[in-house]
A and B are shown apart, each in its own frame.
Chain A
């Protein structure tokens, strides 16, 4: 295979894994802008190490191994004030996350179906919280409800959607 072909092949694999990389890293860090930073760092490292990647070897485990390393480095640099997980927890959660991230696409489709049934008010809360990362206090203000009520509603909503997602995946 020529260098160009190899590069193209590599870029394609890298492109295809972006969603799962984000899923993995976001799951570990739980904070959007930092997760994006680490995704970018991971992309850089993957690119830099592309000569080490062998064609035909599975790309995802390799990419995830590097992502995990980047998450660890980030957690180490940022410390406990900013990150929920420490190195030990990253290690403990890594396997579970890798398994779940494998099903990311399935989960996403399932979740979309579950969300299509949501009443407007709930949808709005969900979007404010998850799409826009709006703090609970602000959501409460913007929709004219008490903060603790918003919290309870969102907790229920999240659990409800998670259960729905499960059911849909199991039903196929």
Chain B
């Protein structure tokens, strides 16, 4: 069986969830994987629980949506509450922004808190970039895509005025991810 990773990113519309999903999809594409990505495209994209789905596989993706997520990246409580049900029972990994999400932990699942928004405020001067920080940390922790591919995807997707800030966010995210890995 070819390996398939189903990833769901969720948060509040405006946090950059859809952008993070697009970047993850492009990064996997750079790694020569087959990819399918879908997003919230309604009013949720501008406030409310918002999600992006990315399916990454060694072979062509037949069903383009997440059936059961291997990895959930959550940036807001209401979105977390809505999408936690779609995480693979007993083996899913949940990576969440500790500023906005406090999960009731269930057995079998792995919960990894990350100070994405706090670090963005401290090191980047605002919440902008928190999405890229948590995405990069998730990549570091799970090995979903290569570091180089993620960096390239950020550079090509983000508009030039914010490219530097977002590439800085990538480095911050990788470091947070490394720390979280050491903690286990």
Is A bound to B?
A: no
A residues in contact (CB < 8 Å) with B: none
